[in-house]
Structure 1
């Protein structure tokens, strides 16, 4: 486990990284703009569940196996990229067909936000890379099993990112609600939301290992 000084360093670094604009925050922002605060909150919790799987994988050594295989890393990366692009294209297609209307979306759409957030984060190998690169700096295997330290440090970081995502949903949701009162601006924000998801997928697909 980290000592007291290392804990302060870790908490400060984790806060800065969690609240820095990144793919996770942009994803929640896009979903909040599309479906309001509730969809953004559900997406945030989905992201956290996906990140928690990465924490568990890092703790038991599965992430290290993924990083050791270039083929496995690329496959997971492309699956995640394709999924984000699919979500963006579907949003634009629903808008084109006229099946999307201003508001919070259908109950089915709202319920799927958690699942979509979970899979978008689960199939992001960059999260696995981050945990493997960042957490070991604060783990001391010579003191005993590193698994509890990985789990604790990773869980703290997931809570920080969840807090950042929830703040984004809280601020973006009311903006989406106001824009929804103007059909022209609402359609534009839907295009931005779908385009952001497609852009995130493209960025992930083109990113280097």
Structure 2
């Protein structure tokens, strides 16, 4: 089975990635503020399904095949970089908004909320790269039970992501109210988020293949 230090290291990595702003957090926060925490949690169920798809693909080696095909990897890498760059521009452009800034969004059904959450996560470059390039580094074939190791690490990642994003969904209204009363903090948060997303986009577009 997975060694304890590998499990701890992977857990800390997943926590850091979950806490960093990304497409999932932006979508869930916006939905929670506009339609309420219940809608945010329903959307969160959709993102969980997206992680399950990635987990199964990673566990059964399909993602390893994708990672081995240069063109497929580059399409994923540049597509993800463009998506993150677009999100960064939305935050940094004149008149841009923070995900914690209240705004009107259409009231969607539970089915649509789950579907949108699922698609947001399925197209999330952070999730794709986590399973494509980072998870395999914490699996030790010499320890045996590679499938069991993969499933265990995937379960840990999903649990951490759901805990972090679920907390953001529940607290989104309070955070939004706090920032709304403090415009300087809202601008600082928006610029911080945009800068992080922009940095991730540049890093993703310029990073070399690790394999």
TM-score bracket for the superposition, by shorter chain length: 0.5 to 0.7
Higher helix share: 1
Aligned counterpart, 2:177: 177
Matches within 5 A, 1:16-55: 16-19=12-15, 21-22=16-17, 24-28=18-22, 31=26, 35=30, 48-55=48-55
Query: Secondary structure of the residue that 2:123 maps to in structure 1?
Result: helix
Q: Deviations over 1:138-187 (max 9, x none)?
A: 8625xxxx545533442233212332444466667634431112345434
| Unpaired segments ≥5 residues, structure 2 | none
* Unpaired segments ≥5 residues, structure 1: none
Supply the distance in 2 between the matched residues of 1:27 and 1:149 (Cα, whole angstroms): 28
Matched, 1:96 2:95: yes
What residue number does 1:134 align with?
Answer: 138
Describe the SS at the equivalent of 1:202: helix
57 and 30 in structure 1: CA distance in 2 versus 1, 3 angstrom threshold: closer
| Aligned residue pair count | 197
Give 1:107 deviation, angstroms.
Answer: 3.7
Q: TM-score, normalised by structure 1?
A: 0.67
SS in structure 1 at match of 2:139: helix
Structure 2 Cα separation of the partners of residues 203 and 186 of structure 1: 26
**2:196 — aligned with what?**
196
**1:131 Cα shift?**
2.0
CA contact (8 A) 2:100 2:172 kept: no
Higher alpha-carbon deviation: 168-177 or 185-194: 168-177
Give the structure 1 partner of residue 129 of structure 2: 125
RMSD: 4.1
| Structure 2 length-normalised TM | 0.66
C-alpha distance after superposition, 1:46-86 (max 9, x if no partner): 65444333321122221121222222212211111111112
